Structure 1
Amino acid sequence: MDAIRSSEGHPRSIGWVGTTALAMGGSNQSLFLLGALLAAQGTAALPLLAAGLVLSWMAVPGWTELVMMWPDRVGGIAATCSEAFRPYSPVLANLTGTCYWWGWVPTCGLTAILSASAVQQWFLPMVSVKIIASAIVVLFTVINLCGVRWVTRLAVTVASVSAALALVSAIVPVVTGKVDWQRATTFHLTLPFHGTFGVVTSAMAGLYLIGFAAPAFEAATCHVGETRNHEREVPRAIFASAGIASLYFIVLPVVWLGALGPQALMGDLSTALGPTFAPLLGGGAKAAALWFMVFNMFHGTLQPLAGASRTLSQLSQDGLLPRAWARRNRFDCPWVATLLTAAMSLALLVSGDPPAVIAAANLTYLIAICMPSVAVWLLRRHAPDMPRPWRAPRGTIGLGLVAACCWAVSTLLGFQQFGLKYVLLGLTLAYSGSLAYSWRTWQDRRAAGLTGPRLSLGTKLTGSMALVMALDGAGYLLAVNKVDKGQAALVALLQDIFVAVALLTIAVGLILPGMISHAVVQVSEAAQRLQRGTLADLTRAMQALGRGDLSAARARPEVFTIDVRTRDEVAAMAASFNAMQDEVVAAALSLDGAREQLQASQERLEHLASHDPLTGLMNRRRFDELLEQLVRAARPGGAVTAVVMFDLDNFKMVNDSRGHGVGDEVLKLVANVLRDVLPTSSAVARPGGDEFAFLLACRDERDAAATTTAVLTALYEHSAASADGRRVRVAASAGVALFDGRRKVTSSQLMMDVDVAMYDAKGAGGNRLVIATPDGSGRRSVTTKQEWLDSLRSALDYGGFELWAQPIQSLADGTVTSCELLLRLVDDDGSVVLPGEFLALAERHGLIREIDRWVVQAAFCELRRRLGQEPTSRVEVNLSGLSIGDPQLEGLITAEMQRGDIPPGAMVFEITETAAIVDLEAAAAFARRLADLGCAWALDDFGAGFSSFLYLKSLPFTYVKIDGSFVRHLATSPQDRQVVQAMVQIAQSMGLQTIAEYVENADILAVLGELGVDEAQGYFVGRPVPLQTRTVPVPTPRSADAALAVGRG
């Protein structure tokens, strides 16, 4: 019951019908004003009622836009102004809401008295009217405390009856012909004195009084935050309430004037309206007239308790009224504000609701309904981009301002008719909100721990202007009382001047001091926050920067922009302070920028100390540190870790032939592939050159091999682009070593093991992986590497190579048609070394190109010797894909072919499918140039790699050599038979001849013949045999910059 839920929303439980029913407390207020207007203004009161309603209609679009901008609020248009006026002055927002509440409170008691009078007259003649009226107020208060649902149910019931009776009272006289239309449309204005000024004074007095009722259908905006589907239902309720007001302010007065006459309407309507019901209800007409007034007055009692009390509650939530006024019970009823509204209504009711209070409340209510139109205009001007769920049509905002000006003029020229003491009372009610706001300010200061009274600038200015107003009021009263009462026009003029001064006093005494003090307070609070926040942070950050503590050298720049929307010295002061804040923040940001740059430089240096600048991967030092940590932490039975290192195949040729820029792109491509393929937990490094390494948590040797294979496959499937748009293929040879703590091993031993395994992968042809032996025996081979290199250089310099020939047989007639020349190395002891022992090392150390040139020149010598014996002879020589494009090799071949003694097709160059061709387009151009000279090409090991069809498509092959892995078991394997048959069909469809390798028996030879293979090669056809004489070394000097080439044999 006693919870404050100021920051919570409201349950949305009512629709537009319920909201419209609640708002009828404003739509039907013409009923208790009609008699007073007819008595004071005559029958001209009717057009004045219509004019007042038209002014109200002019403001409706703006009001609707305003409340829909803050759809979670309650309390109506005046409460919503606290949001709109917040940038200007909280005092202005407080004034609007407080004036609105005062405008509704007397209505509660007055309508209760009117209802009670009718009830006493007919049902309870022995009970006092005030007691009955008090009981009605108490009853409606209890219903309000039960929540808006119960209030809505009661309001809908009462509205249904009152609206039905209003329609009957309007229609029956018209239908039965009881309306004297001449009388209904003849209007006379009663003047307080003669002359134009008297006409204006009387009309404005009437319009001023109408302003207390005509706009009151705005009560439909009091429950926006409690309305379901508010974007649709709230505008519907507002316009429906305005339509009902048209019935009460225009239709009914005109019909009643024509049917009953002005005298009857100036009396008690509960008895005077009987004839309007008589033709339909007969003897029940009096009762109908009575209940018509009772039910309509019930609305006027119900609305302030339900609507105006929510205005107080909302302002309290906004920090403009005492905290306790925002308290709501479990039914979401603002019970403190409701009880306060009921208590004030009962106090006025007991005092008889004197006309002075009604007239004074009229002033406050007009202030409250004029300010929202101003608020909408200010929001359109200064906040055009704010969300507006419902937007007023073009031009209607201006109409609202015109309406507000008209109400202000009616106040200025009409309020005096009620007496100067009413003006003073109205000003007192308007100023009462400032006292409540001061109370809330004191509460907030105490809650913040600030003690002692605080005479703010706003308090001083407002107090001074209140004193000035009191002195001016006393002087005007003395002056007016001394004027001859016969000079009514002069008295009215003096009273109008006093009203103007009083209204200016409100502006000067409340609004302007509030705006000035609000701006000054903003500057003061912003200065304090700047001193305690950004400036203090800036000082601490500078001190930390001086100590070299970059992590603490941080300032939190905060800007508390002062939003003053005036064009005076206060605004200039606020603008200057905002500019100063911007400069302070700029300094703080500059410090942060310098700190971040220093920190980034420090982090960059730390990063460069442990990472490769090109790829962003770890460098060797960091990799070795991590490996050392893992080796030391390894325990028996613990996790298995794989150390993997791989080297790019033929990378030196990429750098030499395509440039270092392309080489860098290849290295970055490899780094990206590693990041994509490997788990994020893996440590990846580039130890140097074209070597890469990573640490991999795995289950066993198979798991490590699978991941490493995935890396090599991904590398081979990717390619890097060079500047000329051609692609560079990437292949690598990898070594893997595993440790798990079960055997003692050092990090250096692991690195040696993985390095040896990587060289073994290179020696096996590259683009593969080798897993190091657990016993570390492979480390011994490292010591022999230099010996191998010395042997290769010696063979090139002193003739240590020789060629062996293996015959190739035609399957058509069984004759030997050609031979393949194979490379061998003769060691110092006379032993023959196969190329698989030394080619990988030659590739890695730049000797392959010279070896290939030696092989080619020796092959031409052998070919010429054979051609002298058999003109149809043909020889085949193995070349690596890396040799293709070698300008020295191309020059050698061109010179030999241009001698003219080699027939076309006699010299055949073989390229292995699994060889890594760095630049396929350049290779294709190279091969075509040699083909134009008469050289033929053969694709060796067809089917064993990934590039079969790519090479077939790109290079000018004449022969396809089927890989021996498909031939060895051809006689017994149906699968191999199908594969070879498919290869033959493909070759034949492309016009190529087929040669089968590794033919080891007659069965295989027979099957090959059946499948249509053209030629065969293998031990069954003939083993390799050395040539008759050892060839001499090629007399071409080795170049230190020679590109890599792969020679096969």
Structure 2
Amino acid sequence: MSMYRQLWFAIILSTLIALVGGLFASTMSSRAYLNEQLRMKNADNATVLALSLSQKNIEPVELELIIASLFDNGHYASIKVLDPTGKTLIERIAPAEQTDVPAWFKQLFPIQSTPGQAQISSGWKQIGTISLVSQSAGAYQTLWKSIQEMFAALALSGLIACYLGALVLRRIKQPLKAVIDQAKGMTERRFITTPESSVPELKQLSVAMNSTVLLLKSMFAEEAERLESLRLQANSDSTTGLANRSHFISQLQACVEEENAPAGSLLIIRLAGLATVNKTLGRNKTDALLKQVGQLLSIHQKHLHDGLAARLNGTDFALLFRREEAVPIARKLLAEIHKIFADVANDFVVFIGSGNYEYGISPSSLLAQVDAAVAGAEAAGLSDVHQSAPLNIEHAPRSAEEWSKLILRAIEQNWVKLAYFPVTKANGELIHKESALRLMFGGEWFPAARFLPIAERLGLTEKLDLIAIKLALEDLNKTNDNKDIAVNLSAKSIQSAEFRAQLKSIIQSKPAAAKHLWLEIPENGVFANIDAFRMFHSDIAPTGCKLGLEHFGRQFDKINLLHDLKLNYVKIDGGFIRNIDSNEGNQAFIKGVCNIVHRLALLSFAESVTSAAELSAIEQLGIDGATGPEIGRLFPLSE
């Protein structure tokens, strides 16, 4: 029994005891009072009657008539006259009076009407003794009525006492519940503080709990700060703070291999006049100018979707992003870089090459094409922006209008399916199947990267996400092998209340399958719309689905938000996994990330594992599972 119920039980029990005790004491007191009143009445009446009869020389017949007349008034239960020898001269006994007082009450609280006695005399001669007993029905009626009134009064007092007790319990319960929720949150790796209670004892408890929470958050923040510093050290250029070449190449490889991601653009910026500036100003001043260039690219990186800025070597910088026109951004960068070097060299030369990419492109081919565009600008000898020649991609993009018709027709004709990729433990045990949506255009199945950018412009991502969920649930219902399925959702979709309601309804329609469904959202989309994700979690978590983040680690500085998101797992971005077998900095970073997420009771999976060496390396870092081309090759899914 809970403490709150025990307190309620104690209040109710004490109130009942007080009610019964008060009622019993009152009853006994009233009964004693009525007994005494009847005794006094009987004695007084007997004395008065005896004196009245003694004042005249009364004959036996006359005495009997007087007694009969007095008895017939109905006030007495019995009247008896005895002669001096004790012989009964006259005796009248009335039948018991009928009242609405229950018989059990009379038996439980009997009223004794003590007979009143007095002597009848004529002068000095004793005629006899009169004994009379008054009717007790009225006394019973009075006692019964007083008990009812007393019960009503005590019951009202009991209700008032219970109400006041409820107020007191509520005053105690609210801060106590807050402390319990706080303790429960700590077990779930959520660190929350509560207002201090006004109840002295609970105030001490809440202060102690808040201090513990602050200490844990501080320890968590220190560990996160250490890992963020380690990440920057391993993946950043020391002069500009931008990503270094190895990290940029890893991220580029992950981008072009990410099936569900939209197409993007790559800019390579060459500061051709940097060598001359270095000779003129010296290394320190040149480094200060390079920091300004790094700050400029960092600003652009933050405002671009999936932006990543890097320093490739001494003079070359790169900017990777999605869903934006590359040339306008490149020209804006050209003008801004000229401003930085305007006071140093009016003729400072900058060459920028731009190129577009999409799923399936070889990273080396993309770099070669964009580098050729830089070389084309460099050949002209003037600061300029050059676009790369069209890349040789198997499926050339169509117009937006044509894509729109193809997507809508595929949805209408139900030309949709899910492709699956394994996510396994190191020993090959399947954790879940990661799904990717396919649409059929012209008899050919297209991966999501081909149509998602257009679908997002047309506002169709919510519909496509719901289709993917339905397909996954149908597949889970068809099989009884308990192989879980993960579905990627757009961060934009979960911002819609209508989408969340439809998604919840679909999942609730198949509760058994829902327990084997994993839903994951990109890290950057969650952190950019944290309130929307909390509402999404509130709507979907009760269905039994597992929730996680994909591409985790790109915004590691926001990891302090993780303990409040109630997630089940994270998938570490493939850019940190690429070539991890030879990157000691990333090894230390990933090991620290795993330690933190495990303390938060989360699972950690590695994305985009492409080689046996990478798989062997991550096994030693505490990662719970992995996915990627190498996993598909080693542990292919059975049909």
Q: TM-score range by the shorter chain?
A: 0.3 to 0.5
Q: Which has the higher strand share?
A: 2
Task: State the TM-score, normalized to the length of structure 2.
Answer: 0.40
Task: State the TM-score, normalized to the length of structure 1.
Answer: 0.25
Q: Which has the higher helix share?
A: 1
Larger Rg: 1
